Amino acid sequence: MLDAHARFAAGQGGKRASLPFVDFSGLDLSGRDLSGADFSGSVFDGARLSGARLAGTNLSGCDLRHADLRHADLTRANLRGACLTGANLMGADLTEADMRQGKVAKPHPSKGFPAVVEEPRAGQLDGATLSGAVLDRSQLDGVNAVDADLSDCSLKGARLSDAILRAANLTGAVLHGALVNGANLEGADFAGADLSGVSLAAARTAGAKLGQVKSQPSRQTMVRAEQLVRQARAHDAWVRSGGKDGKPTVLDGEDLRPAAAALKGLRLTAISAKKACLAGLDLSGAHFQGANLEGCDLSGASLAGADLRGARLAGADLTRADLTGAILTPLPLGPGRQTPANLTGARLRYANLEGADLTGAQLEGVDARGCRPPLR
């Protein structure tokens, strides 16, 4: 039946799977295409679903306790009232998933199954691992996520009203524009998290660790970023003209988050941006040959197709960065001379390295947990 559903999902005939109230406990469904199927009320306790495609799947009221959902595609999945206590969702994609309160079928107190009674239940994520997961624009109102690991995850635009996140690990998480009215964040750890556009005024934050969080760029920072973009374009002109036009610039320690896609495709060869904040920027196709990006915050940035030959990225934060097709090979300096790309001690957690070339790169002490494909 699941094979027939895979053919249906691929437009090759088959039949859509409708399997409510089925026990899948402990089964290995890794990598299967289950998108759009109906599994409402089913039990997946301890099932293996790593890499499974569950986009738009109806998992409302399901028991997914301790399930392995690493890197699964759960975009727009219906998880209303689902129990994911202790589940492993590391690196999973839950964009626009719905985990609000739902109705759960229970055996009738006297008749048992198939007679049922329905009772409301909030989404359950207590003790779950969502490190590096994407939950952008997800609906998590009222969800129970006590002691959950949400480190380095993306919750941009997520709705967390009245959610219970006591003692949750949100270190390095991106909550840009998230709604947390009425949420219980007591004892949660937000070290290094991005809380831009988030109001904690109506949330309970007693004991929460809110040191070193990223806040909304100030008006002064935005004006400064406009000036820096002009300087970066002058550097681009300097590189393209071989020094005849424009002039080189230095971006050390600067916050360019408001620049968005303004630096996309620029030639920034040999630029210095030590400890600059370039988090979330679109830098795809940019040239950073021989650039000094040591300690730079590039978390969530797009460096797809970027030329980073010989770049100095020691200690840089590339968490969730898109390095698809990026070039990080040595930079030739002349006959018999070259300088390698240096990523010593860099953070590459949950980065996308598909098609990236890291031949000859210095990778000592790199934290590559959850990156795809795994760094060897």
pLDDT digits (tens, 9 = 90+) for 15-46: 999 999 899 999 999 999 999 999 999 999 99
pLDDT band at 376 (very low <50, low <70, confident <90, very high): confident
Per-chain mean pLDDT for the chain: 94
The reported pLDDT for the residue numbered 228 is 97
Q: Is residue 355 part of a domain?
A: yes
Domain membership flag for residue 83: no
Within a domain: 364? yes
Would residue 195 count as lying in a domain? no
Backbone region of residue 41 per phi and psi (left: phi > 0; alpha: psi in -120 to 50; beta: other values): left
* Mean pLDDT value across residues 177-190: 97
What is the count of structural domains for the chain?
1
Q: State the pLDDT at residue 107.
A: 60
When mean pLDDT is compared across 92-106, 194-208, 259-273, 359-373, the lowest value belongs to: 92-106
Structure tokens at 221: 């920072």
Cis peptide before 258, with omega less than 30 degrees from 0? no
Domain assignment present for 282:
yes
DSSP-derived 3-state class of residue 223? helix
Res 211: pLDDT: 84
* pLDDT for residue 105 is more than 70: no
- The answer to whether position 300 is within a domain reads yes
What CATH number should be reported for the domain holding residue 339? 2.160.20
Q: Is residue 23 part of a domain?
A: no
Q: Is residue 283 part of a domain?
A: yes
Is this structure's pTM higher than 0.85?
yes
pLDDT tens, position by position, 240-275: 999 999 999 999 999 999 999 999 999 999 999 999
pLDDT at 197: 93
Structural domain of 370: 217-376
Identify residue 334 by its one-letter amino acid code. Answer: G
Residue whose tokens read 């002109």? 237
Q: What is the pLDDT of residues 106-119, one digit of tens each?
A: 666 666 655 555 67
Query: Distances from the Cα of 372 to the Cαs of 14, 90, 196, 322, 323, in angstroms?
Result: 31, 12, 27, 10, 10
